[in-house]
Amino acid sequence: MNIRIGDIVRFISEKMEGKVTGIIDNTTVNIFVDDYGFEIPASTSDLVVIHSDFTPSKPDSSSVTQVQKGVTMESGDTLYFAIVPDNFNNLPDSRYELFLVNDTQQTCLYSIAFRHGEKYSGISAGNCNPDSTCPIGTYSLKDIDAGIKAVHIQAIFFKKGSTTPRTPIEAEVKINTVNLCKSGIYKHTRWFDSICIIRALDKEHLPATEEIDEKQLTQAIREKKDTTPAPTPRPQKQIVGNIVEIDLHCHELLETTAGMNNKDILEYQLEIFRKTMEEYKLRKGQKIIFIHGKGDGILRQRILWELQTKYKRHHHQDASFKQYGYGATMVTIK
């Protein structure tokens, strides 16, 4: 299977989808999983492409249908701001086209200004028809760095005849050139042929975009550290004969997950896995069963990747299906 950067893929063995963000080798790629906000490595044999920007020379009807399945439908009866790169495979050198997207049934009367520091510069104004997009302009990263720290948008809505009044929108969306080069934040929508960044403007009101000075940020971080309880570990090891059983379910490892997000929990689970491997790595013949559960497969994928890279001299296989189903991996120390 020919998998390319930017393809949307689905795992065959797990109920999970993501976007290809890098090619590691001929059989392994990096997948960005949007729900978790980070990348995991995956074997190409365990993936099926459900959307690709690559267009074959002779597309058939089945390929068109497949593309449509991978499109993220943005439909919120509101106004969106979108950023579309012209070269997703080379984001640092790409040019970026800015759009206003009117996902309503009313005409939008808008004005656009760019903010750089404390100064605003008017860019355009006009009408955006219902269910349509309006281009604002195309810019390089250098252009954005030099003069666009944020895009200020004001909009009111109009529909002739019977109508329902809508609240006017005034929003300011910051543009960070570093983030524009992160492939994981782009998604497919029904509005554009290529992937884009898209933001709902009715959720981006001006007070929420005010700058936080360094002292406020430092204080906020300090308060978070003071109020977030440290994870309290629980015993997770059981030894039966020559087999060590490690249950990596978070409710078995921690008394509480308060203050921890999905990424924090995953890193804690992986730390337990690594400590266990280090503890037993010199005990030849030792069998260790890591119970990771099936779930959405993130933990299992990460464990298998580490076993295939950091601990590849040790043997690993699925643990007893009768006892664990697909939810455990057995490692034999070599």
Interval 206-215: pLDDT, tens: 333 334 445 5
The answer for residues whose C-beta is within 8 angstroms of residue 163's C-beta and 6 or more apart is: 106
Residues of the chain with pLDDT > 90, as a percent, come to 25
Residues in CB range of 325: below 8 A, 6 or more apart? 294
Judge whether 218 lies within some domain. Answer: no
| Same-domain check for residues 193 and 81 | yes
In a domain, 228, yes or no: no
* Euclidean distance between CA atoms 253 and 233, whole angstroms: 6
306 and 265 share one domain: yes
pLDDT for position 73: 44
The answer to whether position 68 is within a domain reads: no
Instruction: Compare 212 and 287 and report the one with higher pLDDT.
Output: 287
Instruction: Kindly report which listed range (69-73, 79-83, 186-190, 275-279) carries the lowest average pLDDT score.
Output: 69-73
- Is the separation of the CB atoms in 98 and 136 below 8 Å? yes
Who contacts 31 (Cβ-Cβ below 8 Å, separation ≥6)? 9, 18, 19, 20, 21, 39, 40, 41, 42, 47
Eight-class DSSP state of 97: E
Q: Are residues 33 and 106 in the same domain?
A: no
At 118, which CATH number? 2.60.40.1600
Do 41 and 101 share a domain, yes or no? no
DSSP at 90: G
DSSP code string of 288-318: EEEE--STTSHHHHHHHHHHHHTTTTSEEEE
pLDDT value, residue 232: 55
Q: Are residues 189 and 289 in the same domain?
A: no
Decide if pLDDT at 225 tops 70.
no
Number of domains in the chain: 3
Where does the pLDDT of residue 65 fall: very low under 50, low under 70, confident under 90, or very high at 90 and above?
Answer: very low
Q: Which pTM value belongs to this model?
A: 0.45
Average the pLDDT over each of 158-162, 164-168, 296-300, 330-334 and give the range with the smallest value. 296-300
SS (H, E, C) 117-179: CCEEEEEEEEEECCCEEEEEEEEEHHHHHHHCCEEEEEEEEECCCCCCCCCCEEEEEECCHHH
Based on the domain organization, do 152 and 262 belong to the same domain?
no
Whether residue 184 is predicted with pLDDT greater than 90 in this model: the reply is no
Of 237, 239, 244, the C-alpha closest to 319 is 244
How many alpha carbons fall within 13 Å on the CB side of residue 35?
9
The answer to whether residue 93 sits within a structural domain is yes
Q: What is the mean pLDDT of residues 245-251?
A: 86
In this structure, the answer to whether residues 31 and 111 fall within a common structural domain is no
What residue numbers bound the domain in which 41 lies?
Answer: 5-50
Decide if 103 is inside a domain. yes
Predicted local distance difference test score (pLDDT) of residue 226: 55
Q: Which CATH number fits the domain that encloses residue 296?
A: 3.30.1370.110
Q: Tell me if 70 is assigned to some domain.
A: no
Give me the mean pLDDT over the 202-230 stretch: 50
Q: At what angle do helices 298-309 and 262-280 cross, to 10 degrees?
A: 40
